[in-house]
Amino acid sequence: MFSDQESGKRNGTRCAPSTDSGDQARAHALDRSGPLINREPLADKKATASELPDVEKSSMYLVEEERSEKSYELFEKSLARGLPGLCATRVYPEILRKRYDFGDCAMLWLSNAGKEDSIRPRDLERLSLLLEQFISTRKGVVLVDGIEYLITNNDFVTVLRLIQSLRDQIAMNLAIMIISLNPSTLGFQELNLLEREMDSILRMCSPTTHGQQDFQGR
């Protein structure tokens, strides 16, 4: 699947302020779990690539944003450090290669198009196998953009189990994973479960209300 070139912490506060005492207690419990990347969401101030954190090995990063721009910039910054990369994305790979300097990093297109190097969203077994193969052999940085797409084609619990499995592989193999997510697409409990699997959370989205809709019920 990959050529030689290609195959080579949970923190912060929720984007939306909460006045509910139960929500505040849960948020306080999350705050004690690790160091903060960003306590305030960057809504009016756009972070440049130089302001994005340097990712660390054996770590999972969740980038909460309305559009997957900062995730790709963080991934691009990591590749510039010489780390081998793999990008699993909902965006057609050639569009990304024109927009960002990804070099020869491997790309997996999450799509039902049936093209080469594409993976159907319901084929989580194959996706897991390819990601784990890259993580164990190349020990590089993986970007996953399309978690919402995977959930709509499967279900939240199934996708969460995939992330939990990948987290173990990331830790053991000194690799890095960046996950892009629009947090408004998940309910409070689902977002909380996902955040608990992360080592660091970078909140880039505008303040919004979470938990108004349950993602699985849409």
pLDDT in tens, 12-23: 444 444 444 444
- Residue 167 confidence (pLDDT) above 50: yes
Three-state DSSP at 16 gives: coil
Q: Which of 27-41, 68-82, 90-104 has the lowest mean pLDDT?
A: 27-41
Sheet-wide strand order for 118-119: 118-119, 106-110, 85-89, 141-145, 176-181, 59-64, 200-203
Instruction: Grade residue 1 by pLDDT with cuts at 50, 70 and 90.
Output: low
- Is the separation of the CB atoms in 186 and 215 below 8 Å? yes
Largest CA distance in the chain: 53
Q: Is the dihedral of CA 35, 37, 41, 45 positive or negative?
A: positive
Dist CA 142 CA 170 (whole Å): 9
- pLDDT classification of 138: cutoffs 50, 70, 90: very high
Query: In a 3-state reduction of DSSP, which class is residue 81?
Result: coil
Go through the domains of the chain in sequence order and give each one's CATH number: 56-206 (3.40.50.300)
Q: What are the tens digits of pLDDT across the range 178-218?
A: 999 999 999 999 999 999 999 999 998 765 544 433 333 32
Q: How many beta carbons lie within 10 A of that of residue 209, not counting itself?
A: 13
Q: 149 Cβ partners below 8 Å, 6+ apart?
A: 90, 110, 121
Cβ(54)–Cβ(30) below 8 Å: no
pTM of the entire predicted model: 0.74
Binned at pLDDT 50, 70 and 90, residue 125 comes out as very high
